Structure 1
Amino acid sequence: MSIAPLVAEVVVPVTPTQAFVGFTAQMGEWWDPVLSPDAATFTSIAIDPNGPVATVHGDEQFVFGRVMTWDPIGHLVMEFWLGHAEDEATVLDVRFTDAPEGAMVRLVHSGWREGSEEVRAKYTHWDDLLRRFAAYVS
C-alpha cells in the first residue's frame, strides 16, 4: 500500500473561473450523495471561503473540511477529513488552469501519514466525482 498523493484530472469546456465556481459554489449539485454521512437526506454542500466545508442534510451539517486557500481565479486548498478523523486531516489541492478545450481541473489529495494506507485505499472516487463535475458544468 501507498501514502503517495492521489491525483485526478479532467478538462471541462468552461473557463477556469467558471470551473472554480462550478466546483465550489455548486458542489452539492454534482457531488455523489453516497459519499456523504447519509445519502438519503443529503441536500447540498456548504462551503465557507474562510472556514468550514460541510455536507448538508436538511437542518444538519456535517463538517468534513476547512478552506485553507480560496482563489476564484483558479485555486482551492482545503483540509479534508471525510471518511477519517479530523485530527488526521489530509489536504485537497484543486487547480483550475487554461486548457485548449476550456479548463484543466487537477485535484491532488495528499497529506497521508504512515499508517493511513488502509484509509487512503478507500479513496477510489475522485475520477468518478470529476466526471460528475464535468457533466454538470458542460
Structure 2
Amino acid sequence: MPSTPGLEPIVAEVTVPVTVTEAFVGFTAQMSEWWDPMVSPDPATFAGIAIDPNGDVTMIHGDEQHVWGRVTDWDPIGHYSQQFWLGHDEESATTLDVSFTESEDGTRVRLEHGGWAAGSEDVRARYTHWDQLLERYAAHVS
C-alpha cells in the first residue's frame, strides 16, 4: 500500500556501543535518564517516565502522571513498540516501533514513528525531535 505524502513514518537511527539487551534496557527502563524534559507537557516539573511492560507509558510531573502510550510489544532481545499520543489525543494514537539489531559496532537502534491518519499532517510536523532524543539516548548508554 503506497504511503500518503506527508504521512510516512518518521525514522531515526543510531548505533550504540553496547549489546542489544543493554540498548533495550537503556531505551526502556532508563528512558527517564535521557529523555529531554523540554519534550514534555511541563519541563519545569518533569520527574521521569515509567513504562509498564504490560501496560501504560507514563510521564511523571511532580505529583501528576500523564499516560501517553501503551506498550504493544516488549522483547528485550530486539523489539519495543507502543501506541503513542504524547501531544495529541489518545483516539488518534500513533505508533512507536523500535528495533535493536546487533551490528559490527554494537547495536543499531531504529525508531519508526508511524500510524499517521489522513488529516494529521500538522500534528506529524511537530515531531521533529526524534534525532535529538536518540542522540541523548546514545550518550546515556555509551
User: Match for 1:39 among 40, 43, 49?
Assistant: 43
Q: Separation in 2 of the partners of 1:102 and 1:93? A: 19
Per the alignment, in what secondary structure is the counterpart of residue 57 of structure 2?
strand
Aligned to 1:122: 126
Q: Separation in 1 of the partners of 2:28 and 2:81? A: 11
TM-superposed deviation, 1:58: 2.0
Matched ranges for 1:1-138 at <5 A:
2-138=6-142
Structure 1 ranges of 4+ moved more than 3 A: none
Q: What's the Cα RMSD here?
A: 0.7
Q: Which amino acid aligns with 1:113?
A: A
Please, what TM-score do these two structures have when normalized by structure 1? 0.98
Please, what TM-score do these two structures have when normalized by structure 2? 0.95
Structure 2 residues not aligned, in runs of 5+: none
Per the alignment, in what secondary structure is the counterpart of residue 60 of structure 2?
strand
- Alignment: residue pair count: 138
Q: Percent identity?
A: 66
Q: Separation in 1 of the partners of 2:18 and 2:62? A: 31
Q: Which amino acid aligns with 2:64?
A: E
